[in-house]
Chain A
């Protein structure tokens, strides 16, 4: 047996004892673990570059795809969203606002007789063939509204003397600036033909996009009927405004009871029906959403791999912290903060590129949209992805045996 030292001392703790370390996990070491995480991140420049590029790539792909999806969602229902109607009456079985089915105007009169209906206005919407001055033909969607209508007219008119005046001019039509070149008319007063009927552009709107790439052309109900050669009593939609004190759902139920062979749809439902038709019946939505998910998975894989490699590199130091008495929570905080910092840098780079592309594509007819809420949402998803990517690293950290540091 070894000899015990005979030194007897009263010393149990020298001066300068560390303060209470039984503090909450979050209270202890918030800033220093952030420093360690940041230095871990930037210490290996190549790995940092891979991490940032991976997350930025994921952000760009998600941003562009979701921005496009948002644009598609807006454009597939823009006519409904901007009509100002509470309810729509359409021929039974209509699947999207753009594929309208004619019906008789007596439906409008039947609707007017229903309690709670304040306004019931006709709209006629049909695909038609536009012939440019140079003879090239383009498909358009013609929308005819009464010049006195309170609902269903064009919006954001930037050229012309008001849309009611514009469509009151005989054979006057309103097109959007986005499609001026496509339709071959760039100035007010230009003439073209729709279904062989001569029309004159009397107004331009700005920003009314179409999902089908058949531009919307607004005109009077009378001109629309003449162009489409539908009967003078035909229309495709009746737009309903509900009287004060009535609930749209309640009036819709009454309309469904009193007006036969039609669908009575709230504006919100009709917008969703139109979105769903183009996005899911055509496969466009599935394609966009799967691209976004793929982008997320790519970002997840790249950030998980680089973070894991970084964690493995630091295992001896982490084991040292464990041996010194540091908790697993301390190491978790380093790893998660490192993941979040990588995510923030990558997201900042990626969203900057997305915003630049959105800005550059501002004049495009199907460019992505990036409102602040979507940019913020992508940021949250990117950071959540990075935290998810840190799980493998956290598992590795959990398995650290402090004794390993002596080996």
Chain B
């Protein structure tokens, strides 16, 4: 019986010299990746060009405080039709401060909650509960933000208004601002809940990736379970925690609809020197400001001002991505995780 030859099966005897497939795939994928990068770079440059008149007319004062930002925006919106008379004056600090405050607080709270709940899910929850919690948490990431906004405006805001804000508080700031429950607190609470699922999903995955070997090594030294997890597993996944926080920051910076609904939509800079009261003061971050200005986009200087807000948001996201990357680099020297 003749031995089976490759020829009989129709499979080529030898690898074709200079097989072009690899090269072709490389080129195609490379072109796709480059296109994405080019698109992002183009978008940033386009936004900057569009935003330039707003920055150029204000200089660094654009970032400063001064006057009523809502009044300034309204003046820009009501600019005369003649390009020579366009109004650009803007002191955007209240909006920037609101963005920093609400996103920053949410990311800090969410990071703590996410780390502890991930530890619970991975290491302490009974298996049945684990199997229930994890998909539910991941599903929460897909809830549309307008639903959160709706719950916020119908439940959280009235609750804060009725239960947490006292008459003295209202009276003490009555000459500056009305307190009605739409506040830094409502926005931070809901934003924290919104960015939690993605953080938990990432941190749970990285906790699972910590070698069992390490935890067993710690346990075998007579260290209790909680300490072993904290000092070995959590330590090892610090790069992943940073990565999750960066992703959450980007999500928080970009959130518009929910914040437009619950943050107060007033260009006011909550003042931490007001004590606990400042949590109940309304404000409006940059992203909801763009949303609120939507009907004025046809007015040229107003549109350019909105582009300026957009540019600040894009640049912040890029900045956070890079600093997150830098922190991960320095942390991963001793650990594992996302690089």
Whether both chains belong to one complex is answered with: no
